[in-house]
Amino acid sequence: MTMQGRVNSKAEQVYDAVKEAILSGELEPGQAIDKLALCEKLGVSRFPVSAAISRLAFERLVRVEPQHGSFVAPISADDVRQYLFVRRALEGEVAAEAAVRLDDPARADLAANLAEAEEAAREEDRASFYIFDIGFHALLTQHLGLSRSEDILDGVRQQLERPRRLLMNPPGRMQQTLGEHRAIFAAIEARDPEAARAAMTDHIAAVSRTFEALARAKPELFAP
């Protein structure tokens, strides 16, 4: 590997590590990013750290303040509300369509997802549960062949990843989410599009309520 390749590889390593720390909530909004500590922890020079921080700043996950330092960017509460609005409208229709069109293999995939999510919730494995949470919703658009809707929702999910991970933290929220997914699945199994739409809408509404409660409890994490 060339010298430039090694530098790029190290920058990618730093980028992945810091991004995951931000998305997981290990680094909270407003928290200062200690570049020297990162150099020591990851065994790299300042250059790949600076390159990674610049990339994260471009993605609006980090705020760079000249002469002051780099800080984890706050979460835009208004953005979260708008993205949840999009999810509620679009995913409600996806669930209704799933109740009409999903075949038996697709329903089996949803059932398997719920079983794995239940195990993750029982073990308090938030990282795995988050993956199954995302997977449950993704399976609906994938099995329906709604590729354009999937593209839109993938973009929305990426923007909501940080707040959604935070929303897994309140006690009981994983079990609550699991129950909401089960209600959606039950309506799909019953081939009842109206019930499926209502169950999905109720699920996104519960996410919104949890978000608003978090925003009130920890306003320092959010920007208007």
pLDDT, one tens digit per residue, over 89-121 is: 999 999 999 999 999 999 999 999 999 999 999
pLDDT, one tens digit per residue, over 26-47 is: 888 999 999 999 999 888 989 9
pTM (two decimals): 0.84
Give φ, ψ of 222 to 5 degrees.
Answer: -125, 150
What domains are defined for the chain? 3-73 (1.10.10.10), 76-223 (1.20.120.530)
pLDDT, one tens digit per residue, over 172-191 is: 999 999 999 999 999 999 99
> What is each CA distance from 60 to 21, 52, 73, 74, 205, in whole angstroms?
15, 12, 7, 9, 26
